[in-house]
Amino acid sequence: MRLDPEALRTLVHRDRVHRSLYLDPEVFDLEMHKIFGAGWVYVGHDSLVPKLGDFITTRIGKHPVVMSRHADGKIYVIHNSCGHRGAIVCNEEKGNAQIFRCCYHGWTFKTNGDLDAVAMPRGYGKDFDLSNPALGMGRVARVGIYRGFVFASLSANGPSLEEHLGHARDSIDELADRAPDGEISLGGGVHKYLFRGNWKLQLENAVDMYHVPFSHESTVRRSGKQFGRRAGEDSASAISDRGSAAQRWEQRSAWGSRSNGHGYNGHQPIAEQLPDDPVFNAYRALLERRHGVQRTREILTPKRHNTAFYPNMTLQALNQHVRVIVPVSVDRTEVHVYPVMLKGAPDEMNKSFVRHLNVTHSAASLIQTDDLECFRRCQDGLNAQGSDWVWFARGIDTDKVDERGDYVNTGTGEVQQRAQYAAWLRLMSAEG
C-alpha cells in the first residue's frame, strides 16, 4: 500500500505538509474513507427539518444521505439509496414526505429509513424475507446531536460525539446562548459556492487570521478600516499589516486540538461597542430576563471569532454563520453558508443578520470572493514543481501546550492548521 502510515508520516511534518495532499486523487479517496467515512461529520441542523416528515439531502464524504424528522419527532440520518437496486430515493435538496418512494420500482420507505413496502411482493419467493432490515434504506451507524447540530458517523466504533467535540463544543454554546430562547435557526436560506480547489483549503482558511489584511485588501479603505457592513455604520474594524491595528490583530488568541483537529481564533481584543438602539436594547432585555445582567454581559462579549470543527463545519461569530464544506473531488469543493438566526430575538435583528451575510458571504459578496480566488490560485499554483511543501510554520517557536495537551498561540500564527494536520495524520493512519 503506497499510502501506509509510514508513507503518510513523510508527508506531514510539524511545520509543513506535502503538496500531494492537495493534488493526489488517491490521497483524496483515502480521506473520504478514513476521515469522512469513519469519524464524526457534521450533517445539518435540526432547524432545517422543523416539521414531521421534513428532510434534507446531503453527503457524508461520498455517501449520499438524507436527514429527516420522522413521525416520532426524532432526527434520523439514513442512506439515500434504495434497498432494492440502489437508486437515489430523495432527489430534492429538501422537502416534506410521509413516505419515501423510489422512482425505479416503487419500493417505499418510512422516513426513518425502514422498508415500508415492496411493490408487487407476490412475485418474490417464500425464502425472500421482505422484513429483512437490509432491504430498507438503512440508517448510518451513529448520530449525535448537540444543541441542534447533527453529526453522524458511518462507523459504529470510535470516540463519542462528546469526546470528539471536546473543548470546541463551547463555541456552539457561545453562539446558541446568544439566542433569547437558547436555540439558533439555520432556516434563513443558504449561500452555495463552488471552488476549483481542495477541501482543506477552505478548512485552513476558516481559522486563518494571517491572510486577512492581504487577501481582503480590497475591502480596506485608505483609513485602514474595513468598509461598514451594517446600516448606519460607516466603517468597521481596523485591518492592517502595520502599526497598532496589526498589533491588536496579533493579540487574538488561537487554539488548536492536536487530537481531533478542531481550532478557533479568539475575538479581536478591542472592546467592541455594543449597539445602543431600540432593537438591540429589546434583545438585551430578553437575554437579561432569562440570564440576569451579569451572565448577559458575558454572553454579549464574544470570546471566539471563528471555530473550525474538523473536518467539515465552521462557525463564525462576527458575520454569524455556519459553513459546511462538501468535498467533491481532489480539486473541487462545494461550500454551503447558512446565516444564523437567534430564536426569540427581535425579527428585525435576525433580518439584519441575514442581510449582512449577503454582503460578506454570498457568491457575489465583498469578502468571500477574495478567498475563493485565493483557493483557486493555490490549487493551480501547487502544480508547480519548485517545491514539495506547503508551510504552516508561523509561530511554531512560540506554540504552547495547554492543560488538555492542545496547542495555543496568538491568532495570526498557523497553530490551528498545525493542529488540523496532526489530526489528519492520526486519522489517516488509523487501522481499518
Partner 1 sequence: MLDKVVTMAAPLGDLRTIEKFLIHEAQLLDERRFEEWRDLFTEDGYYWVPLEPDQTSPEGRASLFYDDKRMMDIRFERLRHPNIHSQSPPHRTCHLIGNIAVESVDERQGECSVISNMIMTDYRMRTQRLFSGRVQHRLRQEGDSYKIVMKRVDLINCDDVFELIAVPF
Q: Does 59 bind partner 1 (CB under 8 A)?
A: no
Nearer to partner 1, 366 or 396 (CB): 366
Considering the complex, what minimum distance in angstroms separates the CB of residue 166 from partner 1? 31
Distance from C-alpha of 131 to C-alpha of 295, rounded to nearest angstrom: 53
- As given in the structure block, the three cell numbers for residue 109 are 420507505
For cell 487574538, the residue is 252
Stretch that binds partner 1, among 26-34, 187-195, 242-250, 258-266 (CB under 8 A): 187-195
Nearer to partner 1, 33 or 355 (CB): 355
Q: How far is CA 199 from the centre of its chain?
A: 11
359 near partner 1 (CB under 8 A)? yes
Cβ partners under 8 Å of residue 202, min gap 6: 195, 323, 325, 333, 335, 371, 375
One of 36, 76, 151, 195 touching partner 1 (CB under 8 A)? 195
Decide if residue 7 touches partner 1 (CB under 8 A): no
Interface of this chain with partner 1, residues 201 to 230, rule: CB under 8 A: 215, 217-219, 221, 227-228
Q: Does residue 192 interact with partner 1 by CB under 8 A?
A: yes
- Where in 361-420 is the site for partner 1 (CB under 8 A)? 362-364, 366, 368-370, 372-374, 377
Size of the site for partner 1 (CB under 8 A): 40
**Binds partner 1 (CB under 8 A): choice among 329, 355, 408, 426:** 355
Contact positions with partner 1 (CB under 8 A) in 105-134 = none
Cβ at position 77, least distance to partner 1 in Å:
22
- Sequential DSSP letters for 286-351: HHHHHHHHHHHHHHTS--EEEEEETTTEEEETTTTEEEEEEEEETTEEEEEEEE-EETTS-HHHHH
User: What residue type is assigned to position 156 of the chain?
Assistant: A
Q: Which of 268, 209, 212, 206 shows the shortest CA–CA distance to 240?
A: 212
Task: Give the residue from 400, 407, 419, 411 showing the smallest Cα distance to 211.
Answer: 411
Q: Which three cell numbers stand for residue 354?
A: 441575514
Residues near partner 1 (CB under 8 A):
93, 188-196, 215, 217-219, 221, 227-228, 334, 338-339, 341, 347, 350-351, 354-355, 357-359, 362-364, 366, 368-370, 372-374, 377
